[in-house]
Amino acid sequence: MTTIQHAAMLRIGLAGSTARLLAAVTLVAALSGCGTTGSDLKTAEAQIRIGSKAAREGLWREATFRYKRAVQIEPNNAMALSNLGVAYESSGEFEMAREAYLKALQVDRANPYIQKNYSRFSEFYAKFKKREPKVLGAEKETTP
Amino acid sequence: MRRALFAAVAILAPVTLFAGVFEATLTLPVRPRFALSEGTHVAIAPFVIVVAAEDRTDRASKVDVQMEFSRYLKKKLDKETKLEIFDASSEKLPTSDTKELAANRDFWKSVAARSGADYVLSGSIDFDVEDKAGYKTEEYTSPVDGRTYYRQVLVESTGFVFDIVFVVFDGDTGEKVAEENFRDFKQFDGRNYDELMGLFENLRSMEKQILSMFISQETTSTRYLFD
């Protein structure tokens, strides 16, 4: 049992109210779901896990933040870099995504998931760049 | 013992490969073909109907493609874009030759002037309906002896072809500034599928493409995330 789980259990014992019990149970369940403790948060793995949990919920900004933290902790963590690439893509930062994917591939070129991510991204990004909108009448005043 | 160990490793290997990885669906942007600023006045002029009514199949000529398409396009652009759309479909085209028409700057300038548009949207449409019939080989299990036989069955279907070229003309100069081509083919079981329904099935499946000329669209794609 982790320190936080202990603290939560203690609080339950002291207060004894149902509301607190529920809150504590939720907290414990959430943290044990992540398999993360306070000290664990310093590891890239824990940051990836939380980031991916956020990504599953569609919380891409939180996911991006977590994957960035993971890369700060372990700059050569291919999984963190690949996940960061996906998170950048989700927010339309395609150049950053490209850099992240390329770094991930430099670290782990044989990983089939990173390879697939990069090839799918490259296909999309090539089309995206090719489809540069033709600006019509930039200088034209709109008819009043 | 050793064999059993190898077997266990072989079974576990794919599991290990897939463990801790899941697929996430991303919503990605598709940029518009033409960047027209909000409030730009666009007139929808008539489109050249490529195949003359007398040459089209009887069924295709039952539909007033010109009228139906102009109405559809105006409605869609009005609803989905922030452009000011004007109906100029009552204008008379000076020729049905698309090249000649594209080069006729004075005509497009005059259409723009009459409708007060910055740009004029026109082009050409080819719509046709084909009834098809043919034989297909299919498996048949006899209820009498339970054996499987092959038999020839007559298959009838209706095909709808919609090919459109969009051309954008500058209202001030009458010059052609952009061109885009889309094509759709739909096939339905049975003969005599309603012509108008067929036309709208074509338009429905091209809707995203048509709108993507003027507004950003979205597409989805999956990526792998590590847990």
**Structural domain tally of chain A?**
1
Question: Domain range for residue B99?
Answer: 49-132+160-211
Whether residues A120 and B32 touch (CB distance < 8 A) is answered with no
Whether residues B28 and A131 touch (CB distance < 8 A) is answered with no
Strand B148-170 with B176-189, pairing:
antiparallel
ipTM comes to 0.72
**Structural domain tally of chain B?**
1
Query: What's this model's pTM, rounded to 2 decimal places?
Result: 0.61
Angle between helices A78-90 and A44-56 (to 10 degrees): 30
- For chain B, what is the mean pLDDT? 83
In tens, the pLDDT along B6-47 reads 444 434 433 344 568 999 999 999 888 887 888 889 999 999
For the ranges A4-8, A123-127, A131-135, B83-87, the lowest mean pLDDT is seen at A4-8
Whether residues A134 and B178 touch (CB distance < 8 A) is answered with yes
Q: Does position B54 have pLDDT exceeding 70, yes or no?
A: no
Residue B25, φ and ψ in degrees, nearest 5: -95, 125
For the ranges A22-26, A127-131, B130-134, the lowest mean pLDDT is seen at A22-26
Shortest CA gap B57–chain A (Å): 37
Q: Does position A38 have pLDDT exceeding 90, yes or no?
A: no
Residue B185, φ and ψ in degrees, nearest 5: -130, 130
Count CB atoms within 10 A of the CB of residue A5: 15
Domain assignment present for residue B177? The answer is: yes
Whether residues B31 and A128 touch (CB distance < 8 A) is answered with yes
Please tell me the distance from the alpha carbon of residue B199 to that of residue B126, in angstroms, as a whole number.
11
Whether residues B33 and A131 touch (CB distance < 8 A) is answered with yes
Nearest CA in chain A to B20: A49
Whether residues B34 and A133 touch (CB distance < 8 A) is answered with yes
Provide the chain A residues 69-88 that lie in CB contact (below 8 A) with chain B: 79-80, 82-83, 86
Domain assignment present for residue B7? The answer is: no
Q: Is A92 on the interface with B (CB under 8 A)?
A: yes
- Please enumerate residues of B whose Cβ is less than 8 A from a Cβ of A: 17, 21-22, 24, 26-37, 39-41, 84, 116-119, 168, 170, 172, 177-178, 219, 221-227
Q: Is A121 on the interface with B (CB under 8 A)?
A: yes
How does DSSP assign A82-123, residue by residue?
A: HHHHHHHHHTT-HHHHHHHHHHHHHH-TT-HHHHHHHHHHHH
Domain assignment present for residue B122? The answer is: yes
Question: Domain range for residue A86?
Answer: 3-142
In this complex, the residue of B17, B33, B223 whose CB is nearest that of residue A117 is B223
Q: What is the CATH number of the domain that holds A18?
A: 1.25.40.10
In this complex, the residue of B39, B40, B223 whose CB is nearest that of residue A120 is B223
In tens, the pLDDT along B119-164 reads 999 999 988 887 777 888 888 888 888 889 888 888 888 888 888 9
| Span A5-30, average pLDDT | 41
Domain assignment present for residue B116? The answer is: yes
Q: Which amino acid is at B74?
A: K
Domain assignment present for residue B80? The answer is: yes
Q: Does position A119 have pLDDT exceeding 90, yes or no?
A: yes
Domain assignment present for residue B55? The answer is: yes
Closest C-alpha among A48, A15, A136 to residue B117: A136
For chain A, counts of helices (H) and of strands (E)? 7, 1
Q: Is A48 on the interface with B (CB under 8 A)?
A: yes
Please tell me the distance from the alpha carbon of residue A23 to that of residue B182, in angstroms, as a whole number.
57
What local confidence, expressed as pLDDT, does residue A4 receive?
Answer: 41
Residue B114, φ and ψ in degrees, nearest 5: -65, -35
In this complex, the residue of B21, B22, B35 whose CB is nearest that of residue A135 is B35
- For chain B, what's the residue count? 227
In tens, the pLDDT along B166-211 reads 999 999 999 998 888 988 888 888 776 788 888 888 888 888 888 8
Which residues of chain B are within 8 Å of residue A111 when distances are taken between CB atoms? none
Whether residues A120 and B39 touch (CB distance < 8 A) is answered with no
| Span B39-63, average pLDDT | 77
What local confidence, expressed as pLDDT, does residue A20 receive?
Answer: 42
In this complex, the residue of B29, B119, B226 whose CB is nearest that of residue A92 is B29
Mutate: best of A120, A135, A136, A142, partner B, most B CBs <10 A: A136
Which residues of chain A are within 8 Å of residue B36 when distances are taken between CB atoms? 136-137
Domain assignment present for residue B151? The answer is: no
